[in-house]
Amino acid sequence: MPKEPHKDRDKVIEEIDLRRQASFENPNDLKDEKQRDESPRQFIYTDKQRALIASELRTDGGVDAETIDTIEMIVRLTAESLQCRAECQISPEQEKKFRNLRKPIAQILGILEHPEFGHLEEYVPHMREELHLLGAMVDSDQRQGRGRPPDPCNVHLKNLVTRLATLWTEHRGRPKRWYRDDVGHDSGPFHRFLRACTKPADIRVSDHVIRTVIENGARRRR
């Protein structure tokens, strides 16, 4: 009796979904900040941290759980990428392969746009968001003219701030710079929101990176 391909496909998708769900869960199911694993690969927002992010994103705290889940996923992916950079020496050959991912990522996203593949979103949550994030990292890592490629860590941080700035814009409008002479660095609502999102993963973003993202966004809107 011939095999039915769609049954094999559904089985594979189910297995992938189970593995991904397991990777997103806190192994000890501990919500207390002192008890949870502090590794960027395992970090998960506590209820208190989720509430703080929601209050910074909207003054009335009216942010749905899915938005906070998306922020957590974006920050987690960035933390994992930064940790991987710190732990692994990437050869020039592998860097070149990474920069060549533009085309296959675009092809996969193109497939996901077709209604026939809508079931993948259900079985593999956040796939589209992760691919867009990866695609943005690949685009930002391209050489500019004959110069050296941009610093990989700054690339990851700029993409992180860009994704969070997009969410901020949806709720609070375009982010702005607020330089404070009394403290000697940038501040303001958007900066507080970024700190609330990134501090649990021990990610530090410089004023320069934040300023660059804000100014680039302003130039694109002119």
Tens of pLDDT, residue by residue over 19-48, are: 656 655 554 444 444 444 445 456 789 999
Range of the domain at 128: 5-220
pTM: 0.58
Residues 203/160, Cβ–Cβ less than 8 Å: yes
Whether residue 124 has pLDDT greater than 80: no
Number of neighbours of residue 198 by Cβ within 10 angstroms: 20
Which pairs count as long-range contacts for 63-66, CB under 8 Å and 24+ apart, including other chains? 63/171
Residues 205/161, Cβ–Cβ less than 8 Å: yes
Among candidates 54, 94, 48, 96, which has minimal Cα distance to 71? 54
Among candidates 55, 54, 58, which has minimal Cα distance to 171? 58
What DSSP string describes 6-25?
Answer: HHHHHHHHHHHHHHHHHHHS
The separation between the first and the last C-alpha atoms of the chain, rounded to the nearest angstrom, is 63
Whether residue 183 has pLDDT greater than 60: no
| pLDDT single digits (tens) 88-123 | 777 778 778 888 888 898 888 888 888 888 777 776
The arithmetic mean of pLDDT across residues 177-187, rounded, is: 67
Query: How far is the CA of 56 from the CAs of 60, 87, 169, 179, 181, in angstroms?
Result: 9, 33, 13, 19, 23
Residues 78/62, Cβ–Cβ less than 8 Å: no
Residues 186/178, Cβ–Cβ less than 8 Å: yes
Q: At 45, which helix (H) or strand (E)? A: none
| pLDDT single digits (tens) 149-170 | 566 778 889 989 999 999 999 9
> Which residue type does 126 have?
H
31 burial via Cβ count (<10 Å: 0-12, 13-18, 19+):
middle
Query: In this predicted structure, what is the pLDDT of residue 166?
Result: 92
> How many domains does the chain fold into?
1
